[in-house]
Amino acid sequence: MRIAVIGGGPGGLYAAALLKRLDPAREITVWERNAPDDTFGFGVVLSDETLGGIEHADPEVYRALREEFVRWDDIDIVHRGRTLTSGGHGFAALGRRRLLAVLQERCAGLGVRLRFRAEAPPAAELAASHDLVVAADGVHSRTRAARPEVFGPRLATHRNRYIWLAAGFAFDAFRFEIAETEHGVMQLHGYPYAPDASTVIVETREEVWRAAGFDETDPADSVARCAKVFAEALGGRPLIARDSAWTAFRTVTNARWSHGNTVLLGDAAHTAHFSIGSGTKLAVEDALALAACVTEHPDLTAALAAYEAERRPVVESTQRAAAASLRWFEELAGRLDRPPRQFAFDLLTRSRRVTHDNLRLRDPEFTTGVEREFGCPPGTPPMFTPLSLRGLTLRNRVVVSAMDMYSAEDGLPGDFHLVHLGARALGGAGLVMTEMVCVSPHGRITPGCAGLYTPGHTAAWRRITDFVHRRSPGTAIGVQLGHSGRKGSTKLMWEGMDQPLDTGNWPLYAASPLPYLPGVSQVPQELHRAALTDLRGMFAAAARRAARAGFDLLELHCAHGYLLSGFLSPLTNRRTDAYGGSPEARLRFPLEVFDAVREAWPDERPMTVRLSATDWAPGGTTAEEAVEIARAFTAHGADAIDVSTGQVVADERPEFGRSYQTPYADRIRAELRVPVIAVGAISSWDDVNSLILAGRADLCALGRPHLYDPHWTLHAAAEQGYQGPGAPWPDPYRAGSRRPPTGRTDGPRPRLTLPPAT
């Protein structure tokens, strides 16, 4: 088997070494256009998991690397003259040049041909003369660029500029330092990689970089100025450059990683922001998987498919974590006023890889200090601290998210709703939300949607709120008011989501006459002045009924492409009158409705607004615009913003993942200092504690976890050993407040170990 490797970085070299070691008969050549000791950067970080894989696959490489490692456990966070240290993290780093030298020596010893200062022939040419071509040619991969129609690359350049430098001494720990300069915020990422050397990355927003004049200075001046900004961290010592230049990070993804006998590896296939130390780690792990799959599958097509199937989920998970970390540093300026320990905790948990529970295991003293500063009573997890909104105090931070049940008749909630909402109220959440309750018959999504447009509806809802208040005292129940807009008159979800009814359709109304599913959905009628006035009155009337029905909180649904959301998004609002065009004009009608509802709703009861903070589609609402929309509702009296995303247009491309919508809530909270409700794939109590303690959200709304377990909140309390006022068990259920045993516990106890007989 003849194998060509394009690129002599860690990923390419390690793939060559493993492929040769697993089958010495393979003829392997590595092309590297640079000299053997040419490299960007200085130190690289490898995780224990990656090192374990290296040790298993090639003990000789592992032994050579082990002798070079610098290890440390602490992270120092320096902000506004104060240093906070968190321990127990466990890093291993070494010089990039030394890593390359070890891998080069291993390749040479195994008989791999190394061709330095040699530009590789094009991948297509190599593919014709070799059995396998491994394209490890980096973030600017010529192989990928030559066949975009095959690999389907997507490249995203981000807002921060950074420069990769070094210092001639070893930091005591991984160091994050924040500098607030006259031009804006700059940050330093530093870590030791040798007994006498550290990697130093200086990063800042593009606009700060330009304001400071770095775009016009030569590299030597940039390095000197960075050393001056972080003089205290460096002890007055200079920074060291090695062909260092300011650049913007680029995230690379590809629809496919292989074509024929050519496969992408490492940065050619994917990148993840350096702030989670993942580039070399991912490339080395790619090499391990590729070598294993090529050896395990005699058919190359099957081998490359297995390689991608194994690695893609891991890489995508890492990229989601890296994206969260990248955004955190891009939006750092909005977080600087957080209390010191909360700021440090927020930084440590920014990628969602480190969580509250995980950090408690690593450094319980640090975590306890953060909780104390936050105001957690001893033994109280953050999620069980109270929160007040206007005249309502919630006993904990858990919300049962609004979920459409499609089980009403003519808008009337019945026994199903009593049991569904009553069970979740008994389950311990601080706030239980209804589904979207429609303000008119033509405002329903489906025939099974609930309403609040008749006196009978008011009485039916009163039956439910009375049950919640009587049988689960301390639990609040909120109503979400909305109108389906262009997404109405459809079948029940399980009969065909977003599909029009076969018969009995009612007319639809929207900001503009645009169907949700072109060629499938009904074309809505554009709302004109008289109809807008009528609709505003319907919302106000529904709010008055909600008050009489006994709800504690009201949420106005301005998300997910329903009627009010349709006015906010430029993708669904094409009006040319006073209600369309500019962001301010698109906000006009939703704000009119909000004002009418706020006037009708009792002053002492809080009111929230649910928004789609991004449409996940080109030309749609952006995160920046979402902040301004939230600012407008807050100025009109919203007590909290419920931050969701998407579902506005059918061709959206969401970036799904664990708590994937939280960064949008975090940004609104940081910029506006307004309480926010985070939603979207939050499923564990550990994530809830992390989000609350970090200051990224004030409440967390969970939907599907509460469908799986109506007593999710009480079980979360039991699993954390919490028995305080934030999660009291209903008296009839108190006997179940401990996890039942699941197996035998009557086995023999350990006995004394006797010394061996002499």
CB atoms within 10 A of CB 41: 20
d(CA 78, CA 72) in angstroms, rounded, equals 17
Whole-angstrom Cα Rg for the chain: 29
**Can you say how many angstroms the Cα of residue 226 is from the centroid of all Cα atoms in its chain?**
31
Q: At what angle do helices 583-600 and 623-635 cross, to 10 degrees?
A: 40
- Cβ atoms of 116 and 7 within 8 Å: the answer is no
Q: Name the percent of the chain in helix, strand, coil, to the closest 5.
A: 40, 20, 40
Closest CA to 11 of 193, 282, 271: 282
Beta strand spans in 396-482 (E):
398-400, 431-438, 476-482
d(CA 203, CA 248) in angstroms, rounded, equals 9
d(CA 606, CA 393) in angstroms, rounded, equals 10
Which one of the listed residues 193, 562, 579, 660 is annotated catalytic? Answer: 562
Both tokens of 261, joined, read: 């006998």
Q: For residue 316, what are the CA distances in angstroms to 278, 322, 416, 527?
A: 12, 10, 40, 43
Bin 109: left if φ > 0, else alpha if -120 < ψ < 50, else beta: alpha
Residue with tokens 């061996």: 756
Backbone angles phi, psi at 89, to 5 degrees: -90, -35
d(CA 571, CA 579) in angstroms, rounded, equals 14
Which residues in 177-205 are b (16+ Cβ under 10 Å) and which e? Answer: bbbeeebbbbbbbbbbbbeebbbbbbbbb
Residue with tokens 């953060």: 370
Name beta bridge partners: 481. Answer: 437, 556
- Cβ atoms of 93 and 46 within 8 Å: the answer is yes
Contacts of 127 (CB under 8 A, 6+ apart): 133, 260, 261, 262
d(CA 388, CA 395) in angstroms, rounded, equals 9
Q: How many residues does the chain have?
A: 758
Let me know if 562 is a catalytic residue. yes
- Cβ atoms of 627 and 667 within 8 Å: the answer is yes
Q: Beta strands 70-72 and 91-95: pairing type?
A: antiparallel
d(CA 404, CA 401) in angstroms, rounded, equals 10
Contacts of 448 (CB under 8 A, 6+ apart): 405, 406, 407, 408, 409, 492
d(CA 282, CA 304) in angstroms, rounded, equals 17
Single-letter amino acid, residue 359: L
Q: For residue 643, what are the CA distances in angstroms to 382, 510, 626?
A: 20, 22, 9
Quick one: which H or E segment has residue 525? strand 525-526
Q: Show the CA angle centred on residue 24, arms to residues 23 and 28, nearest 5°.
A: 95
d(CA 552, CA 733) in angstroms, rounded, equals 25
Residue with tokens 């990224």: 696
Active site residues: 562
